[in-house]
Amino acid sequence: MFYGVPLKSRLFLGTAQYPSPAILRRAIIASGADVITVSLRREGAEGASFREILQQSACRILPNTAGCHSVKEAVTTAHMARELFGTSWIKLEVIGHADTLQPDPFKLVEAARILCNDGFDVFPYTTEDLILGERLLAAGCQVLMPWAAPIGSGQGLRHKEVLRTMRAWFPDTPIIIDAGIGAPSQALEAMEMGMDGILLNTAIAHARDPERMARAFRQAVEAGQDAFQAGLMPRRDMAQPSTPVFGMADLT
């Protein structure tokens, strides 16, 4: 449940950098995603074919403020996106570092507070910092979207224990891993931690076969969610036999 909206799929799909509109369309279908993210700047540049894909996908649109580096720029972009797409949902990005694309924590909280007060349902792209997470929730956000690694790096879960701590620290807050996921196995591991969703783009868009990769991520996210809900066995320091030793014949 995200801002009161139930979703069937926990996979959120980005729509940038695909080889062609046709491949993007097939990848969206194969992913089973209910939500696709769209950059306002890209939507304006792509033209009619891209808008047609958005309309035909039947997915919920999550506009984002990709490329924004200031509070004013992010807030203005969010308002334009709400008018264009007719949704209060916004993925908030306020970039603070040009090389790592790490969000600026101070500007992010300020922009989140403004947008929440303006009636937006904010999905903030953040780090795994717990204090920053608390500030974003206090600003009005009901979802947190920590990175696994820098955007487009494919490094996967660089700080697993910290992410586990974040999951435990905010037990009732939906958490979506956003950025840095490069393989279905990494998405599966994040879902096994109890995360509520995975948002990715590059790992599918840059695959040799995006449609097949989208299907692989769909299966991984579903498997990870099922495993978490089923209850993973605890890790042990020593071996434990699966076959009872009681009642075995003594052959000595």
Known binding-site residues for 1-deoxy-D-xylulose 5-phosphate equal: 152, 179-180, 201-202
Alpha carbon of residue 228 to chain centroid? 17
> Which of 30, 21, 83, 70 lies closest to 50, judged by CA?
21
Active-site residue identified among 8, 72, 91, 107: 91
Which helix (H) or strand (E) is 27 found in, with range? Answer: helix 21-31
> Which of 92, 194, 180, 187 lies closest to 143, judged by CA?
92
Helices (H) and strands (E) in the chain, counts: 10, 8
Query: Which residues neighbour 15 within 8 Å (Cβ) at sequence distance 6 or greater?
Result: 24, 28, 36, 37, 38, 42, 50, 53, 54, 201
> Which of 123, 103, 110 lies closest to 61, judged by CA?
123
- 138 token code pair: 């206090």
- Known catalytic residue: 91? yes
Q: In angstroms, how far apart are the furthest CA atoms of the chain? A: 82
Active site residues: 91
